[in-house]
Structure 1
């Protein structure tokens, strides 16, 4: 996750791209390389114009299948669309990505993060990186399914409509690592205490 000093998850262009740096992108690549799958919400795919990661699979959490604005292209081999079981046909049709695999989760529209992690593990993808956006990442944090938080803090003061991680309650963590680069970016690794 990336944030400005004021807690904004997006910069002046409405995306995280205006907050990031070359070092931050390099660290993101390292984190993704250690993952089996990158999980992201559909709203973030639309806002950020997501592309497929180079080394990990991409799983998009969606209730509607609306992925307008993505840059995934037609070659979506390995792409997973995670959705409520009752919406799987709608998601398949509306996504416009017939090559994507739909991973339907039993239950209602409000898919539980633990159910997402369990389904991915059963699919042979136990190492999950949740890139957000803020709403999905906060749901994962509140559910207690995150082992480690990697947070980049850009040395910028941007308007923040809401925090970059709008959690509902305290999450007990300890610092596992911290770096500051020459440009003033801070890179935090926080481990969740159990």
Structure 2
């Protein structure tokens, strides 16, 4: 049974302390610690069990959730140009769990090509693109659990339909109007019209900034690898990198913070959005 133990031997204020370091043989066996909103230790769990602890705490987002991984310097990719350079096994396991708590996976054509997105067994994939150049994306060309959605501007619809005429996809057009003042808002409208309520957005920093700035995003799940920066608290590290990626914004509110000693996992609400509820 997966469970947590509240630390009773000392108080740990996540906003003022350095990253977790074991101080006793018992604590040395601990592999996952929740730092906020309360301190809890989780012993002897497999990586899969750890990821479920975090995912269940993060819960289902009744709105758009961003999932994003960076290193402690704010880089979202390394030498290969892929997010795998800054990700960890636990982060990848957590991604699968967060996808299972979402009803659609939204990403850009560039990210789908770079990361070679495959069809997910958890939810359909929706790829927004202006070019329709998705020949190298396994989710489009390979085995499919769900029919992929391709979102494109109305002005590019004919070209994208022609480009993808030989594959099994649903192509949906979006249009920026006076009511939808930005392309992220227009994409949000299409996703909502399709009946999706809990999208997870996975993309590069520039695209994520535009979605956050447009008011589409309800919360951000941020993973920071190699996070044991000496003399810097886990909370300070996440706050500084959140500002680095998305810009300084007083509307980010910390909801949850975990660490395994090397990586931090945090959940932030935007614009006063209430914490989501996890259904049983």
Match of 1:112?
183
**2:201 is the counterpart of 1:130:** yes
- The 1:153/1:118 distance shift into structure 2, 3 A limit, reads same
| Residues 103 and 12 of structure 1: CA distance in aligned 2, closer, same or farther (over 3 Å) | same
Shift in CA distance, 177/142, structure 1 to aligned 2, threshold 3 Å: same
Scaled by the length of structure 1, the TM-score of the pair is 0.86
Segments of 4+ in structure 1 off by > 4 A?
163-166
Which of 1 and 2 has greater Rg?
2
User: Helix, strand or coil for the counterpart of 1:26?
Assistant: helix
Who is 1:6 aligned against? 73
> CA separation in 1, counterparts of 2:152 and 2:96?
26
In the alignment, does 2:248 pair up with 1:179?
no
Q: CA offsets, 1:7-27, max 9 Å, x none?
A: 111122110112111110111
**TM-score, normalised by the number of residues in structure 2:** 0.61
1:96 deviates by 6.3
> What SS does the aligned partner of 1:49 have?
coil
Gap runs ≥5 in structure 1: 157-162
Aligned residues: 187
SS in 1 for 2:96: helix
The 2-side partners of 1:95 and 1:133 are apart by: 24
- How is 1:12-161 mapped onto 2 (pairs within 5 angstroms)? 12-72=79-139, 73-76=141-144, 77-95=146-164, 98-107=167-176, 112-155=183-226
Mean alpha-carbon deviation: is it higher for 129-138 or for 37-46? 129-138
- Asked whether the 8 Å contact 1:74–1:97 carries over to 2, the reply is no
Contact 1:140 / 1:146 at 8 angstroms: preserved in 2? yes
3-state SS in 1 of match to 2:217: coil
Q: Residues 142 and 168 of structure 1 are in contact (CA less than 8 Å); yes or no, is this contact kept in structure 2?
A: no
Instruction: Give distance in 2, aligned partners of 1:81 and 1:39.
Output: 10
Aligned to 1:160: none
| Offset, 1:149 | 0.3
Per-residue CA distance 1:12-53 (angstroms, 9 max, x = gap): 211011211111011111111111111101111111111112
Is the alpha carbon distance of 1:89 and 1:151 closer, same or farther for their aligned partners in structure 2, counting shifts above 3 Å? same
Task: Tell me how far apart the structure 2 counterparts of residues 133 and 67 of structure 1 sit (CA, whole Å).
Answer: 17
Q: Please, which runs of 5 or more residues in structure 2 have no aligned partner?
A: 1-67, 228-240, 273-280
